[in-house]
Every structure is written in C-alpha cells, then in structure tokens.
Amino acid sequence: MITQIKGLHHVTSMAGNAQANNAFFTKVLGLRRVKKTVNFDAPDVYHLYYGDAAGTPGSVMTYFPFPDMPRGRPGTGEVGTTVFAVPAGTLGFWQERLTQAAVANLAHDTSFGVNRLSFDGPDGDHFALVEDADDTRPGWTGNGVHGDVAIRGFHSASMRLRDDAASAELLKFMGYQEIARAGTVTRFAVPSGTARMIDIETLPDMPQAGQGAGSVHHIAFAVENRGKQLEVRQTLMETGYQVTPVIDRDYFWAIYFRTPGGVLFEIATNEPGFDRDEDTAHLGEALMLPTQHEHLRGQLETLLPPIID
C-alpha cells in the first residue's frame, strides 16, 4: 500500500479564454497567480497557476486556456466539483461577492453537514466553497480579499463515476480511507496532510464526459519529494498500473496514470516549488518558459493572447 500521499497537490483544467480565466481566479476568487508559463507539451498554450502566496501544494488551481475551445460536456469519468476551504462564517461574504460578480449557478446547500456555496467558473467549471474552521492555512490577500475571509486552498475534489468500485479500491491503495457516506457520495481521506479529502459520486446512468473548456484535465496528489515519488511509482507499477516516467515540470516532478474510472491522476512532488525561477515578491508576473522552449520566446510572446491584470 502507498503511504506517501499527503492530499491534493493541484487540479488542472481547461479554459477557453485566458483573460477571463485570469480575471475570475485573481479578481473574483482573490487567488494569486503564482506562475504564468506555457503547457510544456504544447507551448503555444499558456499554463496559468493560481494559489496562495507561494503556490503551496494543496492550494493550486491550474489552467490550460485554449482560445475558443468549446465547452466540455459534463459527465462521468471526470472530476465534477473542485472545492475550496474558506473560514467559518464567511459564506455570506462570498455569496455577496460572487453575486456582484454575476457568477453563474450560485447555490447554497449543505454537504456532509457543512455549509457549501457552489458556483460555476467562466467555462461552466464547477466549484464550491465550504466553511472549515479547522483550516489554519493563510490565504492570499494581495487581490483585495482580506485574510479573515480569503480562500485557504483546496478542501476536496469530487469525482463523478459510473462504477465506483475500482476507483474506491485505488484510493484505498493510495492510502485513503472511507470516512463518510451521504446519498450517492462516498468521502475518502488520507490520515495527514492538507486538502486531504476526495469524494466519489456514483452516477451509474450518467453518460461519459466529453472534455472541453471547463473540464478538469487531471488531478494531482502530493508527495514530499522525488524519493517518495519513485516509491509510489514502483508500487503502482507492481500493481499493474501503466505509469509515465518521471517528467520534470520545472516547479515539481510529475508522473501520470489513468484510473479505472477514466480520471487522469498525477503524483507531483512538493519540491522545488514556484519560487524556483522567480522572486517570491513577483511570482506569476513574467512569462516564464522552461529551458527547452526558451528559444521560442519571441514567437510565443506574439502568439499568446495578452493577459491584462
């Protein structure tokens, strides 16, 4: 069994418009853009990272904005809702803020006995905020959202599956334990770390998702370092999973594998972090390119749509 996973590292989705995506995450949700780079596998597309002050693992929502990409069709085999934690008693503030920003599908309900505010991002991507009094992570306050209300980081993420059995087995193998059930949703958590929870929503009659703008591309789990990542890779491969080699993503090292339910999982290291190539005070401001694409800088700066902060 795997014991090295410490919760979520990041969630990566697709968007249709970089400017709208940037405005939503920085100006509406108040996150910090901690990196402006490109998709290392397709450098003519941005890779934008939003999180807390340092882009701490467990706080980082990332996007590939493909200009004019059609919206995805929500369904099974994907992450349905990405959930952020906010301080207790702040959902009223967020409801007002999101209403003023004309955010779509704003709705209030409870999930596992906790107040939840759900809403859609600019591409119909589904998010929720939940109050968590025990979450002491400091939020980013640089975009005018004060520290007493700011998003702390991820609370959890929810996968929609037609058949949950194999994915539940996989999560348990990855060190998650079933901690609660409510209706069609089963909640799993790792014993320690941040953003510890994953929900599985079982929807046997829902068609398979069609990926597009607003769809989660993959979900990444955190391990402390490269040594732990190699241990996890070995254990997964011994169990029959097809896992990629270790890939250098500049700000972390990554391995990927497809889960039985169709969701793409990544295991990412907490090292070296987003201050690897930029001063902490200026994270996310300049276009940062990996060494292998630096020769394309002139071309990319012309091609990539401008993002006005």
Residues that bind Zn ion (CB under 5 A): 12, 220, 266
Starting from the edge strand earliest in sequence, which strands make up the sheet with 114-120, in order? 107-111, 114-120, 126-131, 78-86, 153-161, 197-202, 185-189, 177-182
Minimum distance from CB of 11 to Zn ion (Å)?
Answer: 8
Nearer CB in complex with Zn ion: 94/265: 265
For residue 267, the one-letter residue type is: I
Residues 6+ apart with CB under 8 A from 48: 18, 21, 22, 25, 33, 35, 36, 62, 63, 65, 307
Minimum distance from CB of 257 to Zn ion (Å)?
Answer: 12
Residues 6+ apart with CB under 8 A from 281: none
Minimum distance from CB of 157 to Zn ion (Å)?
Answer: 13
Nearer CB in complex with Zn ion: 209/220: 220
Nearer CB in complex with Zn ion: 185/262: 262
Minimum distance from CB of 242 to Zn ion (Å)?
Answer: 17
Nearer CB in complex with Zn ion: 161/220: 220
Nearer CB in complex with Zn ion: 93/241: 241
Minimum distance from CB of 12 to Zn ion (Å)?
Answer: 5
Minimum distance from CB of 195 to Zn ion (Å)?
Answer: 14
Minimum distance from CB of 35 to Zn ion (Å)?
Answer: 12
Cα 75 to chain centroid distance, Å, stands at 18
Cα 211 to chain centroid distance, Å, stands at 16
Minimum distance from CB of 145 to Zn ion (Å)?
Answer: 25
